[in-house]
Amino acid sequence: IAGTCKTAEEVLDEVEKDMPFYKNSGGGMTCSGGEPMLQTEFLRELLMKAKDRGISTAVDTSGNVPFANFLEVLPYTDLFLYDLKSMDDSVHREATGVGNERINENIRKLSEAGARIWVRIPVIPGVNAEAGNMEATAELLKPLNPELVELLTFHKLGGGKYESVGRVYVNFPCPWPKKR
């Protein structure tokens, strides 16, 4: 584990150094992780203070937390970057270690609450790249009307993360032609 402990104020002092960029690009601060929604108290304070300073806020989440966590940060979050993997619960469980029921329910509730949502789907051969899974994902998302659905191409950069937590990394073959 590497890093330092900081208060929300210290984090925002660092974030504010890029205010000219945010103003020119329309961007802001994105809280990602790990899973920032597991540190709800700190996240709420950070987002609230960011809003007080005029900084746009986004939270990158896998959605696998109690919905009460979302309710804590919803008033201070301009955008949720919401990761979806497989619609098949057993495949999702095998690939991530958890089922997808809570994740799918939370995105429905976030949508009903009026949250801005960008869905991000890492397209992984053998996990969710099949047409049936993509159709099921579209069925989940259709009534939710997210602002954006982004398909992320598969890469092998996660191998080191697996090793660091003692898990075996499955080296899926890449189905796309290699660039020359």
Does the pLDDT of residue 1 top 90, yes or no? no
Among residues 104, 63, 67, 99, which one has the least CA distance to residue 80? 63
Does the pLDDT of residue 158 top 70, yes or no? no
Q: pTM surpassing 0.75?
A: yes
Does the pLDDT of residue 156 top 80, yes or no? no
> Angle CA(137)–CA(142)–CA(145) in degrees, nearest 5?
120
Cβ(75)–Cβ(37) under 8 Å?
Answer: no
Does the pLDDT of residue 112 top 60, yes or no? yes
Cβ(153)–Cβ(176) under 8 Å?
Answer: yes
Residue 35 burial class via C-beta count within 10 angstroms: exposed 0-12, middle 13-18, buried 19 and up: middle
Other beta carbons within 10 angstroms of residue 2's beta carbon come to 3
| Mean pLDDT (the chain, rounded) | 90
